[in-house]
Amino acid sequence: MEARAIARYVRVSPRKARVVVDLVRGKSVVQAREILAFTNRGIAECVEKTLNSAVANAENLHHVRPESLVVKEAYVDEGPTLKRIRPRAKGSASRIRKRSSHITIVVGTREEA
């Protein structure tokens, strides 16, 4: 049983988002929520919202209790990049790349082997 949630077009670079997502991969949902609550990064709030959405999807679609869920997959893909121009010295210009991300979190029941 798996449930997923995807946050698309989040305005943060994928490199910065991956630092936070790597903290919760493989953890239980309760433990992941605690980690995200005390992570001092701006993107942690968006990752927590995505995690809560995936848990809600599992509860509503598969009737599973959140305490029994674990973060099976968590990854960040690169979204579209907004390209802007900034004036520089001697009449030249440099390109500013405003990156975006797609955050995907998959939760599932713990497999006892």
Superfamily classification of domain 2-109: Ribosomal protein L22/L17 (3.90.470.10)
**CA dihedral in degrees (14, 15, 21, 26; nearest 10)?**
110
Model pLDDT, residue 111: 75
pLDDT tens digits for 65-109? Answer: 999 999 999 999 999 999 999 999 999 999 999 999 999 999 999
Tell me what the pLDDT averaged over the chain comes to. Answer: 95
d(CA 108, CA 113): 15
- In the chain, where the domains are located: 2-109
pTM: 0.92
Q: What percent of the chain has pLDDT over 90?
A: 95
